[in-house]
Chain A
Amino acid sequence: MVKEDLLYTETHEWIKIDGKVATVGITDYAQKELGDIVYVELPEVDNELSAGDVLATVEAVKAVEEIYMPIDGIVVEVNEQLDDASDLMNSNPYDDGWIAKFEIASEDELEGLLDANEYKKLIGE
């Protein structure tokens, strides 16, 4: 499932824009590929990250995957619920399974992200 109102990356993160703040998570396709997610290493609030930096590390039973910062920004909030319930990323990847919110450094960078149609094409849906 791909949600229409979100932006996407080629590395399977989704981004929701709300003014100056972006929320990021992994797509339904990504959670299915990973399987049962059993642990998430979250970033620290106030961390200033550049596009491509490791934002979080997600561990499934048999795999470890890094989640990348889609654009430059400063982390303002992390989803601490995932500490005890990382399976929310499997059951609800676009809502309760969000990973972090960050303040967007430059809105120009958003143009480099994929829209829903482009992402669907990428995953062959």
Chain B
Amino acid sequence: MVKRTPFYNIHKKLKAKIIPFAGFEMPIQYPYGIVHEHRKVRESVGMFDLSHMGEFIVRGPNALDFLQKTTVNDVSELDVGQVQYSNMCYADGGIVDDLLVYRDEDYYYLVVNASNIDKDYDWLHSNLIEGVTLDDVSDETALIGVQGSQSEAVVQKLMNDNLSELKYYHFIHTEIDGTPVMLSRTGYTGEDGFEIYFTALDYAEEIWEKVAEAGQEFAIEPIGLGARDTLRLEMKYPLYGNDIDKDTNPLEAGLRWVVKFDKGDFIGKEALEKVKAEKIQRKLVPFVMDGKGIPRPHYKIFNDGQEIGEVRSGTMSPSLGIGIGTGYVHRNFMKSGTQIEIEIRDKMYPATIIKPPFYKEGTVKSN
């Protein structure tokens, strides 16, 4: 049974092109199209329905121990009101999912990928320890993203809290028009932005309209999943299922900074320590086409006629106007500046490995 988010009727009204994605009927684009939507977010502000994402609540006296065991980042570093990007790994170091961990006063809130909700819940549940409860609240949670340089101005109009004081990867509990919401300064676009979570689904359409109304003076527009993907790829943010999966580990995926080996034991630690000691065999690298050609997932990567890897994500970059992609390449070829070729329909197209991100003008407030 394909699910609908509380904003489905709004997407219909806005004439979105709706596709099945991760078990939901989601808007991939609205009538102006992906390139227009992408530019809207880069230049001013856009709003996203992200209600397909999964949310879990972890409670109990041993909640911290449980999350230290099941995620690779150090959850003990989190203050109340702070958010952390992390990965969950299998014992062999392969990635279960990437996620956000929110530390609230008496519980932790996890935000996981829509396509992995059931898998993640089952995996977390199978590793549950005494004194911890795990609740999947995905179906009761709506999520609106507001992203772009003007996002603070838009969201500020909806509440009295001083948002200039809300730091990157931090959150507050507040209200929009009397409806309680959790608001975090987070996003997946490379721009400054906010994510608004709430459970009053009966008021979902009203809250959407409130945000749209607040954004009117900045000509806010709805943004579909298509532009969400091109925006995240321009930053080289990983996408589960493309850039990372159960057969990749955080070290080769460029997520070494997320793994805290010194925090104590966690699932996958032994395997990842071995990877670290033996040096990674391949690495996820960002590359830019030198000229024509658009890389797509599964295209082969060559160097001097020798196959060295495979494309995982690829698109025409709306900001750069050229094909960009990511791919795993053998470690001998992972340095930025390395010349590679992408095989596209039996022809070789030159490309160059770069340092991330592709798009360097983003307004995201990292620290």
- Same complex origin of A and B: yes
B345 touches A61 (CB 8 A): no
Whether, in the assembled complex, A64 has its beta carbon less than 8 Å from a beta carbon of chain B, the answer is: yes
Given A59-B316, A61-B315, A62-B229, A36:B33 Cβ within 8 A = yes
Residues on A with C-beta less than 8 A from B28 are: 62
Whether, in the assembled complex, A47 has its beta carbon less than 8 Å from a beta carbon of chain B, the answer is: no
Q: Which size class do B's interface residues fall under?
A: 10 to 19
B197 → A minimal CB distance (Å)? 27
A61 touches B292 (CB 8 A): no
A39 touches B35 (CB 8 A): no
Q: Which of B17, B35, B293 contacts A61 (CB 8 A)?
A: B35
A64 touches B230 (CB 8 A): no
A61 touches B296 (CB 8 A): no
Whether, in the assembled complex, A112 has its beta carbon less than 8 Å from a beta carbon of chain B, the answer is: no
Given A57-B345, A62-B229, A35:B292 Cβ within 8 A = no
Residues on A with C-beta less than 8 A from B362 are: none
A49 → B minimal CB distance (Å)? 16
Given A36-B34, A62-B28, A41:B230 Cβ within 8 A = no
Whether, in the assembled complex, A38 has its beta carbon less than 8 Å from a beta carbon of chain B, the answer is: yes
B226 touches A39 (CB 8 A): no
Q: From residue 310 to 353 of chain B, which have CB atoms closer than 8 A to chain A?
A: 315-316, 318, 323, 345
Given A61-B315, A62-B229, A64-B296, A41:B29 Cβ within 8 A = no
Whether, in the assembled complex, B294 has its beta carbon less than 8 Å from a beta carbon of chain A, the answer is: yes
Q: Which of B36, B226, B293 contacts A62 (CB 8 A)?
A: B226
Residues on B with C-beta less than 8 A from A35 are: 17, 29, 33-34, 226
A62 touches B34 (CB 8 A): yes
Which of A39, A41, A62 lies at the interface centre, i.e. has the most chain B CB atoms within 10 A of its CB?
A62
Which of B17, B316, B318, B323 lies at the interface centre, i.e. has the most chain A CB atoms within 10 A of its CB?
B316
Measured CB to CB, the residues of A under 8 A from B are 35-36, 38-39, 41, 57, 59-62, 64
Q: List 19 A-B contacts (CB under 8 A).
A: A35-B226, A36-B33, A36-B34, A36-B35, A38-B316, A39-B292, A39-B294, A39-B316, A39-B323, A59-B316, A60-B34, A61-B226, A61-B230, A61-B315, A62-B28, A62-B34, A62-B226, A62-B229, A64-B294
A-B interface, 10 closest residue pairs, ranked by CB to CB distance from nearest: A38-B316, A61-B34, A36-B35, A36-B33, A59-B294, A62-B226, A35-B33, A39-B294, A36-B34, A61-B316
